[in-house]
Amino acid sequence: MKQIEKNFEHLLFSSRWLMAPVYFGLVLAMLVLLVKFTKEVWGLFAGIMTATGGELITGVLSLVDIALIMNLLIIIMFSGYENFVSKMDDLHSHQDRPDWMGHIGFSDLKVKLIGSIVAISGIELLKAFMNVDDLSDRHLGWMVGIHVTFLFSGVLYALMDKLGSKH
């Protein structure tokens, strides 16, 4: 019976490697976002002479939005892999290794995730306000409501994290 328990625990522990393809999928998602970023930059420069100031600002905000999402994916990939799959021991001495790598726990990851979502939501809301004439009041109301919900959730996450770390 002890051997069955040992084998089962080994199987459970090894199952963490099922997450590796998920993290590789996020790398592929970054490639898709890079294509989208390139398309946005191309469109921004193609219309530079005819675009209004609002259109240029919206274009730049779209670039910032994509950059934030890609940064978020890197944080999720690195910290998720190191927290749940395997340590990246060979990279500890790499000169370009980010300082935060290996130090972000699951709790930190949740707070960074919600913070990024709030920032991305804020950018989307700002882009909507730049094109306020094209959107209904109802649509804008929903966007503001969703953003406030994300913001409130972020504050609650941070508060819970702070309260949890005291105990």
Residue 78 lies in a domain: yes
Count of beta carbons in the 10 Å neighbourhood of residue 78: 20
Residue 9 lies in a domain: no
Average pLDDT, the chain: 86
pLDDT higher at 102 or 80: 80
Contact 24, 92 (CB under 8 A): no
Residue 4 lies in a domain: no
Give the model confidence (pLDDT) of 29-43 as tens digits. Answer: 999 999 999 999 999
Residue 156 lies in a domain: yes
Place of tokens 């019976």: 1
Residue 31 lies in a domain: yes
Residue 41 lies in a domain: yes
Which domain covers residue 87, as residue numbers? 20-166
Give the model confidence (pLDDT) of 36-77 as tens digits. Answer: 999 999 999 998 888 888 888 889 989 998 998 998 898 888
Residue 43 lies in a domain: yes
Contact 160, 114 (CB under 8 A): no
At 100, is the pLDDT very low, low, confident or very high (cuts 50, 70, 90)? low
How many structural domains are present in the chain?
1
Residue 126 lies in a domain: yes
pLDDT on residue 30: 97
